[in-house]
Structure 1
Amino acid sequence: MSDALTRILAAAERGEFPPPDGMTTVVPQPSGRDAGVLAFTAHSVVFTDEDPEWVRDTLAATSSDPLAASMNPGFLSALMARTGRTMNTIDLLSVAPARSGPPELPLREIEDPDHPRVARALQHRDDVRMWTADGGVLVLGRGVAGRWEAAVEVDLEARGAGLGPRLADAARHLIPEGAHVWAQKSPGNARSVRTFQLAGFRPVGSEALLLPADRDFPHRSPHR
């Protein structure tokens, strides 16, 4: 695992970020599965096993704005072509610390590694666990650099009653004491962005996660 990326994420959890100097830091991938780009305020982090000089030369060639270069479509396209990877979207990243005690929302854990929602989560995370509540689902797992990541889904007929924020808040109770939990959301999904903000998640940056062309990576494991 890339200790450099782990340290950067741990610092962001504490509210400490790279200097806003318009520069880009290049660090190794934390695993064979995960590569991509993080953008903080006026500083980017590219986590890839590609040549750092190629990364910097390509950034300079694809954008005249160093503050936006790492999320420029030209650079991301070049990085995908270089690595043979794909991506879905640029996500807003937010994070929240653990809360003590059990969640207030009654939850039922689904211990089925073949459940479709678990199988989908295992494409991106390890140690996946899933809980259901009346009208919704919470998924927790270890994602980029081993960070805890949460995702929630609320049934259409259950929306508007505050279930989403309660599910997101429950994630904070289900991680170890002293840990933090991250959430990735498309910026255009305003409902999801508000859901996690209401649960106390604070925005810290954006992320473009590059996905392997072959999703069947061997180092995934459902929680048992």
Structure 2
Amino acid sequence: MAESTLADILRAAANGHFPPADGGTTVVPQPCHRDAGVIAFTAHSVVFTDEDPEWVRRTLATLDCDGLAATMNPRFLVALLDRTGRRTDTIDLLTVASPLPGPPPLRLTEVRDAGHARAGRARRRRDDVRVWAADGGVVVLGRGVAGRWETAIEVDEDCRHRGLGRALATAARHLVPDGQPLWAQQAAGNARSVRAFQAAGFRPVGAEALLLATDGA
């Protein structure tokens, strides 16, 4: 690939232009201290880290596994976590959707309480966080990896199986500012969330493993 930043790569992917499916790995600097990790597109991976790119390539070369998926191999991820002193949660499905015009087709009330539990969790991973509540659920927007707009939703347990998750994810597409693409991550095993976001028009673009700083930054 030509020299790019992670923001460049994500911007292109949101527009349907992906790294070449050549089995390769691109290593780019972290966009900030908070955000490091791996994104696996079709037959090409992007590792965003401030570690030595040659260390990344040497480590991948030692793995006895399918080269097309080597960056998501647990052995590589553990090596990267050990090297960086970071931690991780899950490998997520990374999805993106275009914005939608007009107000959301769902009654929402913005939550301005800075102490709201969902807002507090979101601010550990995102900037410019905003939270809206609906009857039975919550939708969150904020700037995450490389400044991209990201959304997350929550549905109360007694309100599930009524299409509210899809409605909240759709509402987020109306709320994203500046006509920007909107990103969302779903744990691969969370089938309900995957279905809700895809029903709301979010397109799968790859898999993502974020490496979380342990120093609270």
TM-score interval (norm. to shorter):
over 0.9
The residue type paired with residue 109 of structure 1 is: E
Q: Which residue of 2 aligns with 1:43?
A: 44
- Taking structure 1 as the reference length, the TM-score comes to 0.94
- Root-mean-square deviation (Å): 1.1
Partners of 1:185 and 1:63 lie apart in 2 by 28
**Pairwise CA distance, 1:176:** 2.1
Partners of 2:64 and 2:148 lie apart in 1 by 31
**Pairwise CA distance, 1:177:** 4.1
Structure 1's unaligned 5+ residue stretches are 218-224
Q: Which residue of 1 aligns with 2:168?
A: 167
Q: Identify which range, 67-76 or 56-65, moves more after superposition.
A: 56-65
Structure 2's unaligned 5+ residue stretches are none
Partners of 1:25 and 1:171 lie apart in 2 by 31
Cα deviation digits, residues 173-201 of structure 1 (max 9, x gap)? 00124311111011100000000001000
The residue type paired with residue 107 of structure 1 is: L
Cα deviation digits, residues 36-84 of structure 1 (max 9, x gap)? 0000000000000000000000011124321010000000000000000
Partners of 1:126 and 1:58 lie apart in 2 by 33
**Pairwise CA distance, 1:127:** 0.5
Partners of 1:210 and 1:152 lie apart in 2 by 22
**Pairwise CA distance, 1:109:** 0.3
Instruction: Give 3-state SS (helix, strand or coil) of 1:57's partner.
Output: helix
- Taking structure 2 as the reference length, the TM-score comes to 0.97
Give the % identical residues.
Answer: 66
Q: Which residue of 2 aligns with 1:196?
A: 197
Q: Does 1:212 align with 2:208?
A: no
Q: Which residue of 2 aligns with 1:145?
A: 146
Cα deviation digits, residues 113-170 of structure 1 (max 9, x gap)? 2211111111110000000000000011000000011000000111111111010001
Aligned length in residues: 215
